[in-house]
Structure 1
Amino acid sequence: MRATVPRHEPLLLVQDLQSFARAPDPEGFAREHSVKQRRSRRAFLTGVAATAAAAAMPRPPETNVAQAPPIPIVDTHIHLFDPTRPQGAPYSGPRPAPGATPIAAYPERYRRLAVPLGVVGAIKVEASPWIEDNLWVLEVVQRDPIMVGVIGNLEPDKPEFPEYLERYHKNPLFRGIRYGNLWGRDITKQSANPDFISGLKRLAEADLVMDTANPRVPLLEAMLRISDAVPTLRIVLDHLPALDPSEAERAA
């Protein structure tokens, strides 16, 4: 069973927990919700939209108290990796200091850092181009209820994409794929590839999302073309604070 968020509480979805300062938790809100695990992950994620909508609605006067309880947070973008595996890891976080040993990032380590900040759930976004790491990370997150989803790595234009999609989609933790300006891929070019678009239609039919990476203006333009071609596809634009258009791009 997984972390539960009560319907009457607002919910904050964030990317990159490092941008949040540590805050006290005198009422034990984070601890309380980390142990109340009465729903499945799928039910948890299904309730996110309803919770956010309820939070935006006006409240009766008697509930407009001066100090509201802390807002439960779902961190929507974390990475898990283990450079000490026999095969290593293609990504293992910031480069360690000279002579230092890289530290593995598992859910239990994340939990120790995140729960005191009010985080009740996290979604792992793939940082490895290795196809076998989809299975590795699904097995890892299965062990810790703070993990409520995985964004994996599949290539929609490849002939084997339908088989892999069907296989991984059987796991309710698998919530989509990551594709963007990383691992030598060119999503601007792929946005005009019929095979790529066909794969994204399969992704949308499975009710999964596409998470982009490392945004630039050409990527945003490609996302518009993809959205026009597959209007039912949900697209996540991550790392937007890193977007720094040139003067010419801003003028356009």
Structure 2
Amino acid sequence: MIVDTHLHLIYRDRLAYPWLSSVPPLDADFTYDAYQREARRLGIVSTLHMEVDVAPDRIEDETDLIAGLAAETGSLLVGAIASCRPEEPGFAAYLDRTRANRLVKGFRRVLHVMPDDLSEGALFRENIGRLGDFGLTFDLCVLPHQIGKAAALADLAPDVSFVLDHCGVPDIKGGRFDAWSGPLSEIARRPNVTVKLSGLPAYGAENWTLEHLKPYFAHVAESFGFDRMIWGSDWPVCTLGGGLSTWVGTTHALLSGVSLEEKARVLSGNARALWKL
């Protein structure tokens, strides 16, 4: 059974997504109903919603939308990783409002599209440190050249559990393995960082194959092991590289050489332990 830790839902009639117009294939509605029909057939038994970088004034509306979907009978949704702006003075008040919501398991601030030094700000770092007091995680969505800054953030907040999204966003299409592998090995030395096995199909060439992804997966496994690895679909972004069924099938193929116990930890056990699901 699979716990999907990275589901994006897009409802353009309910929320505002400023970035969607720049990615035409994703500028559409991607609803819970569409996801769950395919997910259940693939053995996905529960999922965490990952914030979709909505307009800043709609962040809490996104959480409310997900809460409504999670409350439906038989919903796969068991938690949410909410958007946040740790660089802003209002973060502490936002945290106070949000932490009482049991659906919210952690936060993410998309960093790979922001200035590299955003996470180095004193207020940003202070606010991230607050998460440890409440057992809330922080997802790191960074490019390879930003991984060092993410590692510094993990060092400064040792009581916070960090999740490195999309295996650190390797440039598989461009074949820039070395530019990514060293920084990934370095951040893996931090015991409070877990890697998310997600996103790889979207970073490959249009005609990617399993053989293209194997070296990247092997390096992630060597660096983090299987006790600090969780799985995410990155739906609907995964549709850019074949879709949900393709990624689940590819994941099973990548994990075919590991023990059943290790596979179970990656696909569900580690996520359940991290977020107490």
CA contact (8 A) 1:91 1:127 kept: no
Which residue identity does 1:204 align to in structure 2? G
Distance in 2 (CA, whole Å) between partners of 1:152 and 1:112 is: 24
Cα RMSD (Å): 2.8
- 1:192 and 2:117 matched: no
- 1:163 and 2:93 matched: yes
Match of 2:12 in 1: 83
Match of 1:220 in 2: 147
Flag the 1:113–1:220 CA change in 2: closer, same or farther, 3 A: same
Deviation at 1:151, TM superposition (A): 0.7
Deviation at 1:246, TM superposition (A): 7.0
CA contact (8 A) 1:77 1:123 kept: yes
Distance in 1 (CA, whole Å) between partners of 2:124 and 2:88 is: 8
Flag the 1:211–1:248 CA change in 2: closer, same or farther, 3 A: closer
Deviation at 1:161, TM superposition (A): 0.7
Match for 1:177 among 103, 107, 112? 107
SS of aligned partner of 2:88? coil
Flag the 1:89–1:250 CA change in 2: closer, same or farther, 3 A: closer
Match of 2:29 in 1: 104
- Of all paired residues, the percent bearing the same amino acid is 26
Number of residue pairs aligned between Structure 1 and Structure 2: 173
Distance in 1 (CA, whole Å) between partners of 2:129 and 2:31 is: 33
Match of 1:154 in 2: 84
Flag the 1:242–1:217 CA change in 2: closer, same or farther, 3 A: closer
CA contact (8 A) 2:109 2:139 kept: yes
Bigger drift between 154-163 and 234-243 goes to 234-243
CA contact (8 A) 1:83 1:103 kept: yes
Match of 2:245 in 1: none
Which residue identity does 1:165 align to in structure 2? L
Match of 2:158 in 1: 231
CA contact (8 A) 1:180 1:212 kept: yes
Match for 1:139 among 60, 63, 68? 68
Flag the 1:227–1:82 CA change in 2: closer, same or farther, 3 A: same
TM-score for the superposition, normalised by structure 2: 0.55
Distance in 2 (CA, whole Å) between partners of 1:190 and 1:92 is: 22
Distance in 1 (CA, whole Å) between partners of 2:155 and 2:4 is: 29
* Deviation sequence 1:77-98 (CA, Å, 0-9, x none): 110111233x55446696359x
SS of aligned partner of 1:74? strand
Which residue identity does 1:81 align to in structure 2? I
Match of 2:54 in 1: 129
Deviation at 1:124, TM superposition (A): 0.7
* Higher radius of gyration, 1 or 2: 1
CA contact (8 A) 2:154 2:160 kept: yes
User: Gapped runs of 5+ residues in structure 1?
Assistant: 1-71
